[in-house]
Amino acid sequence: MDFPEFRVDGKVALVTGAARGLGRAISLALANAGADVAIGLRDIGEDGGLAGEITGLGRAALPLQMDMTAPGQISRAVEETLSRFGRIDILVNNAGIAPGNPAEDVTEEDFDRTLAVNLKGTFLAGQAVGRAMIRQGHGRIVNIGSQAGEVALPGESVYCMTKAAIAHLTRCLAVEWGPHGITVNNVAPTFIRTPGTAEALSDPAFEADVIERIAALHRIGEPMDVAGAVLFLVSPAASMVTGHTLVVDGGWTAR
């Protein structure tokens, strides 16, 4: 009898937007579970010591210049990873931005940049890695969406739109690439304590409202809460899970 296996020993992972917050936690969780990790960075000179922490866990780290608004950097980062490790077993499409604004005040610049990072960048990274995974005959892709793809968040119309699109992109790629041994899933977190949410959560009234809306657990999530969901989906234990959105929201959308 084969029991579920949650480790990824000897696998090669590429994580986008890895410098801080969710990307950092996911990179470390993958390394702790046995994977070598290529870390995609908007600025390769600013990894915050992440590469050193990964090597400290006994795994190889490869910092990559990977601005998700620059298609050339995306393709080169994938090529560098393949050149260094020979394959990519896991892709975590984590990079994303969320410039908040009431819909009537959204600028064209903010609209275009949000779609460039959250949608175009996610698709292009998935496409580049997907081609390699098709040649390999296997792979695990996890996109990082948001509960904002499931529920409306005032002042976040463009961000919500992109995250809803990522959920459907996930289903489309799962169906298209499944015959090649590739699973594609989506993790959709609630508000998580990261540098990106620190300013909003510093408002006591806003934080209290968020905690109230996280209906079941009544606490703000931590980055490792999301990393755990990602680790499950890329592990052998999830080999029959694809095209799925795993909502990590403490019960927000269950209400």
User: Looking at residue 196, what is its pLDDT?
Assistant: 87
User: Looking at residue 38, what is its pLDDT?
Assistant: 98
Please provide the average confidence, as pLDDT, over all residues in the chain. 96
User: Looking at residue 210, what is its pLDDT?
Assistant: 92
Mean pLDDT within 136-165 = 96
Mean pLDDT within 69-98 = 98
Q: Are 69 and 115 in contact (CB under 8 A)?
A: no
User: Looking at residue 255, what is its pLDDT?
Assistant: 85
Q: Just list the catalytic residues.
A: 159
pLDDT in tens, 115-138: 999 999 999 999 999 999 999 999
User: Looking at residue 163, what is its pLDDT?
Assistant: 98
More confident residue, 100 or 57: 57
CA 149 distance to own-chain centroid: 14
User: Looking at residue 209, what is its pLDDT?
Assistant: 92
Q: What is the pTM of this model?
A: 0.96
User: Looking at residue 13, what is its pLDDT?
Assistant: 98
| pLDDT exceeds 90 at position 242 | yes
Confidence band (pLDDT; 50, 70, 90) for 1? confident
User: Looking at residue 100, what is its pLDDT?
Assistant: 85
The pair phi, psi for residue 220, each rounded to 5°, is -75, 140
Confidence band (pLDDT; 50, 70, 90) for 233? very high
CA triple 223-224-229, angle to 5 deg: 105
CATH numbers and ranges of domains, the chain: 12-194+223-248 (3.40.50.720)
Confidence band (pLDDT; 50, 70, 90) for 241? very high
How many C-beta atoms lie closer than 10 Å to residue 78's C-beta? Answer: 25
Mean pLDDT within 204-215 = 92
**Tokens 């394959």, located at residue:** 87
